[in-house]
Structure 1
């Protein structure tokens, strides 16, 4: 092994642990297989080996163990507790085990009577606490040393140091600090829309655009994106001749290190489907089994940054903001906690609750909905005349009907959308006025309701002195469009009655 690799490998300081070594530990497997979905590679970890090398999210990681017999005990702890866990979970546990071996040995040897004191003195972060609890649960279930099942509640009550971190994360969500601005979202939409019309995209450009589309529309994590294989992508044409691109990916969110669900199926915005389909063609031509050629999330995100920079759009945020923004958009457009949890692939409603609370705090801000809601389930794309009557609007599919929240008002019935409403990434109602895909309804009442909601929002901006922001300017433009639709519908209805 090279000198550089020796320095990079995580190792443990030597410490004698005679008590632990004399315990009768359960038997453990000799080999441990670990599959990394990022790199589509499998590592075989062997008991007794001085160095373990594994792939974690596409990156090579090494662990250097001390001499026997401590090496055997440490590797046994990994193999007894980490089977069927993800590479990331195994990496965090093994890293904590090696770096905190002295602490963990003390916790075990001093026993339950002194565990609280040792815990308070030595356990200060989440990863250290999680690994410690995992080891303690093992010795409890195995009745080793002074430990037995009677101490389960004692170990369960030890502080995992996660509360402050989780509270901070949820606080950011509730304060909407983890979201992209409307202007940023609009720029990303324009990149995806405009570049879909380019006749000849290079493979690296298609990869960056496909990654952006999947992360932006469906809140996918890098591991989910990079794990997509060719058989997970289905390119079809529906009955109306429009492209349909379906992508399935694994449910990456985990609970206690175990995946909580299987494959999730999503449909790509038809206007962005070309990016994914083109990348699929490149992947087939290259003979690879995975859709994306990037080996890790950093490489993938650099391609997203580059493909946006080529058209003058600066990406100065990470991929997590896309996921937060998509989830918040669902909450803002009225989705239930269950729906948001399903979208995120989570095991519980905890995160969904934060997004819903953030939405309730936004009663005086414009709706930032990104896409699908309960109104938008099917896909029927039809072009009609300049206006649509209320009766015609009531007979069409829900996906063609435009509805959304403007301020505190639920506005519906303002017209039809010529394309798939569920795939539109702009704000419902507000962005429709002035859009070439929008067909106004001959319904003065609906337009008056939209105008009233937008006027309320304009007053909010004015009172706050925020009359130069992009959100304020967008609202003024939409208000003018709604006023024109109201005037035209009144004129047409008046003429027909005359």
Structure 2
């Protein structure tokens, strides 16, 4: 039998099979989970391009690339998925993956696959199909199509063989490779940049609540950044937040509800509390944002993703994604000692296993506690340490009182650690915590003073760590850690730097 005849017979078999199936409905209804409404595909049998709405954008499902007979099978496959509750974007992705595999390999291979007896399927799959697969996604699409053919009793396929198809192996892909390598985690110094910027903008907004200090687009960007930073929300979750999901209380607190996504129950939603200092951003945006759109940000998921990339590049000089924030927030929880249940709840996972990879990449418990001793959410902004000078006790005693750094954090007296070149009355930052990283700070060249400050601040951090671990994992919780690290670097620098009077 020649190759064209072999193709013709198979496509004729496709055409014959579809005539025995129930015809496609004249109207296919599917649920648009972005706009939260049902939509319809009209006349699916007579057109090879189905107009659909996916994630807030007009798109189409294209069947025109497949030959006659086969494209009808594919239409039934996609329609079956939509009518049984599969998301439109999932079925469109399946079709796209199958198309890429179809054009990337010999089409005879798929025909041989369909002619393979189910009892011989596993061996043929491993020897003939697996080498042609690019990854897990196209394997999943092919298996989905095969299961559909089983349910429709295509040729020798039978519903009893669906379990055999589901058990077929897929190319190994380390879903958590970037987590294990650490490349998806945002460095602490860049986390501080984002937290500091949100704190600074919020402070400015609070100082002048009735003025338009920021444009609507800037407010929107900072609100999105805060949701990524604080709770690691996905772009799809942020884009699906509606105006009714933002609840503002008389106390000034703000709660936001969002869909969990990737859950069996589409209605599953979670509620989170916005960090109090950043609530002003949401209030200002809600007050000044245009009223017609139903969605709070009026952004599609792709636009949210682009916003995150743009603002991180502008603030930190490096592009980060919403996924990077999600992984980083999860790792912060684990590193601060949160339980697996807390991590699963934070991520919106239905099982405890998905978050276990963060424990695998974390250090041992003793190191976690020591690291946690360097973290707290209540302190002011930190910049990278840049010490070039030290000060003698004699010179410090002859310094004016307003330039001697000191304070009472949580009732702990800390004073005489060094000199501020501009004077504390002219500084808007909290001394003690900001001075060690400030270019205007000149440290006293007596290590025992800084050692005592380090010990006292660790007591403060420990009290926060013991009181509430989830609070200790909040974004600003990193700030005291960097402060204590800066004190340790100061102690190291004192060993080699010469004092200046």
Coarse TM-score class (shorter-chain normalised): 0.5 to 0.7
Unaligned runs of 5+ in 1: 1-12, 373-384, 390-407, 435-453, 455-471, 481-498
* Equivalence for 1:339: 342
Cα separation, 2, equivalents of 1:259 and 1:140: 26
Cα separation, 1, equivalents of 2:347 and 2:12: 47
RMSD over aligned Cα atoms:
3.9
Cα separation, 2, equivalents of 1:210 and 1:191: 12
- Give matches, 1:256-335, under 5 Å: 258-259=264-265, 262-283=268-289, 285-297=290-302, 299-307=303-311, 312-335=315-338
* Residues 19 and 431 (structure 1), Cα distance of their counterparts in 2 relative to 1, 3 Å cut: same
- Give matches, 1:46-195, under 5 Å: 46=42, 47-48=44-45, 49-66=47-64, 68-83=68-83, 84-100=85-101, 102=107, 104-120=110-126, 121-123=128-130, 124=133, 125-161=135-171, 164-165=172-173, 167=174, 169-195=175-201
- Give matches, 1:224-235, under 5 Å: 224-235=237-248
Asked if the contact 2:32–2:38 (Cα under 8 Å) also holds between the matched residues in 1, the reply is yes
Cα separation, 1, equivalents of 2:33 and 2:334: 30
Equivalences, count: 386
SS of 2:475's partner is coil
Per-residue Cα deviation, 1:378-432 (whole angstroms, up to 9, x for no partner):
xxxxxxx86459xxxxxxxxxxxxxxxxxx9997337999xx956852336x718
C-alpha deviation, 1:159, in angstroms: 1.0
SS of 1:281's partner is helix
> Does 1:222 find its partner at 2:235?
yes
SS of 2:204's partner is coil
SS of 1:210's partner is helix
Cα separation, 2, equivalents of 1:370 and 1:304: 25
Per-residue Cα deviation, 1:318-367 (whole angstroms, up to 9, x for no partner):
12110000111111112222221121122322321101222245854734
Asked if the contact 1:251–1:262 (Cα under 8 Å) also holds between the matched residues in 2, the reply is yes
Q: Which structure would you say has the larger Rg?
A: 2
C-alpha deviation, 1:140, in angstroms: 2.9
Aligned with 1:21 (options 1, 15, 24): 15
Cα separation, 2, equivalents of 1:36 and 1:178: 31
Cα separation, 1, equivalents of 2:409 and 2:365: 34
Asked if the contact 1:26–1:142 (Cα under 8 Å) also holds between the matched residues in 2, the reply is no
Asked if the contact 2:376–2:481 (Cα under 8 Å) also holds between the matched residues in 1, the reply is no
* Residues 478 and 219 (structure 1), Cα distance of their counterparts in 2 relative to 1, 3 Å cut: farther
Per-residue Cα deviation, 1:139-165 (whole angstroms, up to 9, x for no partner):
33444322234434432321122xx32
* Equivalence for 2:421: none
Asked if the contact 1:329–1:370 (Cα under 8 Å) also holds between the matched residues in 2, the reply is no
Aligned with 1:32 (options 28, 45, 49): 28
* Equivalence for 2:480: 431
Asked if the contact 1:244–1:268 (Cα under 8 Å) also holds between the matched residues in 2, the reply is yes
Aligned with 2:255 (options 246, 250, 256): 246
Asked if the contact 2:344–2:355 (Cα under 8 Å) also holds between the matched residues in 1, the reply is yes
Structure 1 window deviating more from structure 2 (144-153 vs 130-139): it is 144-153
Aligned with 2:40 (options 34, 44, 47): 44
TM, length-normalised to structure 2 = 0.66
Unaligned runs of 5+ in 2: 1-6, 206-212, 379-407, 413-457, 494-501
SS of 1:32's partner is strand
TM, length-normalised to structure 1 = 0.67
Cα separation, 2, equivalents of 1:409 and 1:111: 70
Cα separation, 2, equivalents of 1:289 and 1:204: 17
Asked if the contact 1:41–1:55 (Cα under 8 Å) also holds between the matched residues in 2, the reply is no
Cα separation, 2, equivalents of 1:386 and 1:131: 59
Cα separation, 1, equivalents of 2:313 and 2:179: 28
SS of 1:91's partner is helix
Cα separation, 2, equivalents of 1:261 and 1:475: 49
SS of 1:350's partner is coil
* Equivalence for 2:420: none
Cα separation, 2, equivalents of 1:208 and 1:370: 25
SS of 2:145's partner is helix
* Residues 317 and 362 (structure 1), Cα distance of their counterparts in 2 relative to 1, 3 Å cut: farther
SS of 2:271's partner is strand
* Residues 27 and 180 (structure 1), Cα distance of their counterparts in 2 relative to 1, 3 Å cut: same
Asked if the contact 2:376–2:461 (Cα under 8 Å) also holds between the matched residues in 1, the reply is no
Asked if the contact 1:224–1:252 (Cα under 8 Å) also holds between the matched residues in 2, the reply is yes
Cα separation, 2, equivalents of 1:264 and 1:301: 21
